[in-house]
Structure 1
Amino acid sequence: MKIAVIGATGATGRKVVERALDLGHEVIAVARRPEVITPTARLSVRQGDVLDMPSMAEALVDTDMVISCLGPSGNFSQGTVISEGISSIRKNFSPGTTMSVGITNILAACESAGVKRFVMQSGIGLSDGKELSVLNRLAIHISGRIFTKAVEDKAVAEHAVQQSELNWVIVRPPALSDTAATSKYAAGPLIRISPLRPLSFADCADCLVRAATNEPTWIRKIINVGR
């Protein structure tokens, strides 16, 4: 299968590319700055800006499915634990409209390019918490009150996906960490997970690739993934 990965230079996106290649798929990494990605066997790179729908439509031509690992960008220097932490906090407090506008453009690009299967990485913070424990419901509620703008922007994006005619899957992980893959995670509609237990980027990536290439019962459903 030919999988386009949007957000391929991000922490989850890089792992999605790796996992899809490991499973033998052909991967198209879509990036605003394609020069930062080195093409390899079964990996090609195309330029595409999620804020520019025509460029995205061109980037998605002749692909079977799309996985979006899109997230808000930050302006802090990378490379240290402190800078990464500050950047993460900043992006949640002031996310802009990258998700809401970007996902809307990606959906239009999918339709223009004839792509039917679309997987979106979202977050457990969008859950209403009914499937979770009382403590975890409280954690999501508090997080939502702190990161209101980020939740609102991502909620617009999720709504656009659910209103589309695509065979979509929305995947909601908890906080993510740069730890080793375990393959020991739970995933499914209304699966009870803990938003307080981080999931590795690699395990989240594995779930996203599963959602794109397997799991027919996940189509047009919201999937919780975590531990």
Structure 2
Amino acid sequence: MKIAIIGATGGTGRKVVERALELGHEVIAVARRPEVIPPAERLIIRQGDVFDASSMAAVIAGTDVVISCIGPASNSSPGTVVSKGILNILAANFSPGTVMSEGIPNILKACQRAGVKRLVMQSGIGLSDGKELSAGNRWAMGINRRIFSKAIKDKAAAEYAVQRSDLDWVIVRPSGLSNAAATLSYTAGPSARIAPFRPLPFADCADCLVRAATDEPTWVRKIVNVGR
């Protein structure tokens, strides 16, 4: 398949590019700073900014599916521990900006203009209502949502826009992410019970996103949890 990956320089985005290429797909890597992406066979690198709606349709034209890995600077789920450092995470989650709530609608418009029917969006387990989680994790997630309410609100607006679209969408909600080595051993699926605060390697999240884009027909128009 020909896959466009938006946010290709982030923690997850880099790994999605690598995994998609490993599996033999053609990849269009989209980033504001394309010069930092190393060249590779079957890889096309394009500049794009999700705040510039008019540019997005052109960069994803001719692709079969779009994977969005955009998010706050830490590229992590709200309130979880990742390798970039707790201060960076706190800054991103307390002041996440509007990259999700503004960027995702622009990506949706671009898909419609370019005729792309399938979209996979990386979100975060912090948006779960906790029904599928353990009692202890439901309690902890409730506190997490209150502390990082701005980040939750930004992602919630993005999820709402995706669910209202007529695309064949999949929303993937990972647990906290880390730079640990890939295991390809994780739990994923609609309403899957995972440990939201147990770190998942970026590479494992990336594998799940590629699966959602290329396989797993039962995930279409579903919210998928991925973690341990």
Scaled to the shorter chain, the TM-score interval is: over 0.9
Question: Which TM-score applies when normalising by structure 2?
Answer: 0.94
Aligned partners of 2:5 and 2:66 also within 8 Å: yes
Aligned partners of 2:3 and 2:27 also within 8 Å: yes
Alignment-derived partner of residue 152 in structure 1: 153
> For 1:205 and 1:82, how far apart are their aligned partners in 2?
16
Match of 1:24, SS state, is coil
Alignment-derived partner of residue 78 in structure 1: none
> For 1:198 and 1:38, how far apart are their aligned partners in 2?
27
Match of 2:3, SS state, is strand
1:41 and 2:41 aligned: yes
1:202-213 matches, within 5 Å, as 202-213=203-214
Alignment-derived partner of residue 141 in structure 2: 140
Alignment-derived partner of residue 110 in structure 2: 109
> For 1:180 and 1:83, how far apart are their aligned partners in 2?
15
Match of 2:131, SS state, is coil
> For 1:82 and 1:211, how far apart are their aligned partners in 2?
25
> For 1:41 and 1:177, how far apart are their aligned partners in 2?
27
1:24 and 2:24 aligned: yes
Task: Please report the RMSD computed on the Cα atoms of aligned residues, expressed in angstroms.
Answer: 1.3
User: Aligned AA for 2:86?
Assistant: G
For residues 118-154 of structure 1, the C-alpha deviation after alignment (integer angstroms, 9 at most, x for no partner) is 0000000000001111001011101001000000010
> For 2:210 and 2:16, how far apart are their aligned partners in 1?
7
Q: Percent identity?
A: 70
Alignment-derived partner of residue 120 in structure 2: 119
> For 2:38 and 2:188, how far apart are their aligned partners in 1?
32
Going from structure 1 to structure 2, the CA distance change for 1:25 and 1:82 (only over 3 Å counts) comes to closer
1:57-136 matches, within 5 Å, as 57-73=57-73, 84-136=85-137
- Runs of 4+ aligned residues of structure 1 deviating over 3 Å after TM superposition are 81-84
> For 1:199 and 1:131, how far apart are their aligned partners in 2?
18
How far 1:184 moved relative to its partner?
1.2
Alignment-derived partner of residue 51 in structure 1: 51
Aligned partners of 1:139 and 1:195 also within 8 Å: no
User: Aligned AA for 2:6?
Assistant: I
User: Aligned AA for 1:61?
Assistant: A
> For 2:57 and 2:87, how far apart are their aligned partners in 1?
34
> For 2:215 and 2:84, how far apart are their aligned partners in 1?
37
Equivalences, count: 221
Going from structure 1 to structure 2, the CA distance change for 1:20 and 1:177 (only over 3 Å counts) comes to same
How far 1:83 moved relative to its partner?
6.4
How far 1:82 moved relative to its partner?
8.8
How far 1:38 moved relative to its partner?
2.5
For residues 6-58 of structure 1, the C-alpha deviation after alignment (integer angstroms, 9 at most, x for no partner) is 11000100000000000000000001111121221101101110000111111
Match of 1:72, SS state, is coil
Alignment-derived partner of residue 185 in structure 1: 186
> For 1:37 and 1:202, how far apart are their aligned partners in 2?
17
Aligned partners of 2:6 and 2:67 also within 8 Å: yes
> For 1:73 and 1:190, how far apart are their aligned partners in 2?
27
